[in-house]
Amino acid sequence: MANINDIYDRVGDVVNSVNDSRNALHADLQAVIETVNSVNETLATTNQLLTRITQQQDDLIEQSAYQSNALLHISQQEDTVICILEHVSKNTCEVLNTATIQTRLQQQMHSLVEQITVIAQSAHPAGALEFKRLEEIKREIERCCPPEPQAPACTYTPCPAPGPAEPPPAPPQRPPPLHIG
């Protein structure tokens, strides 16, 4: 049978063994805590990097949206320019056609009017004098009461214009990038 000293020694051995295990466990826990803290720091740095990357992506998306709007605006302006050029082209062609016809008619009429004037003055000298008198009266009346001006042959119809483009958005103030190394 074991005596009290043997039991005491055995209890002391068990206590020492428990203390040794506790100390080993404490050292292992300290290592785990240090590892967890290191992982937390890495996660915090990664989170900051991901936040900055997300902000940069948002900036790129905003810039891309502005560029798309600017391209649409330029396209609308080009549509306006094309419309104006079509007006100019059509009007120029019509004016050239009309001018060509009018020039031919005026040349023919000039010759005919000279012939008729000479014939009429020869046949009716009193009528020629009366015509000159009536022309003088007509000029006096027009000085007093000028005739209504004729409406223009062409009135310009402006093409729809898109208006000015929006300025690009101001870049947001961001912290400088993190340097990991």
**pLDDT at residue 65 greater than cutoff 80:** yes
For the cut 70, the answer to whether the pLDDT of residue 145 exceeds it is yes
DSSP 163: -
Has residue 69 got a pLDDT over 70? yes
Q: Which residues of 139-157 are buried (b: 16+ CB within 10 A; e: fewer)?
A: eeeeeeeeeeeeeeeeeee
Q: What pLDDT, on the 0 to 100 scale, is given for residue 42? A: 94
Which residue, chain included where needed, has tokens 């948002």?
A: 58
Calpha distance 24→27 (Å, rounded): 5
Does residue 102 have a pLDDT over 90?
yes
pTM value is 0.48
From the number of C-beta atoms within 10 Å of its C-beta (0-12, 13-18, 19+), residue 76 rates as middle
pLDDT score of 181: 55
Q: What is the CA radius of gyration of the chain?
A: 52
Structure tokens at 129: 């004098």
Phi, psi of 152 (to 5 degrees): -65, 150
pLDDT value at position 180?
64
Mean of per-residue pLDDT scores for the chain: 86
pLDDT over 70 (residue 58): yes
Q: Which two tokens stand for residue 110?
A: 């000039």
User: Domain extents for the chain?
Assistant: 4-102
Position 38 scores a pLDDT of 94
* pLDDT for position 30: 94
Rounded to an integer, the average pLDDT of 112-133 is 88
Least confident of 4-8, 41-45, 88-92, 139-143: 4-8
User: In this structure, what token pair is assigned to residue 164?
Assistant: 């000015």
**pLDDT at site 121:** 84
Cα distance between residue 71 and residue 74, in whole Å: 5
pLDDT above 80: residue 167: no
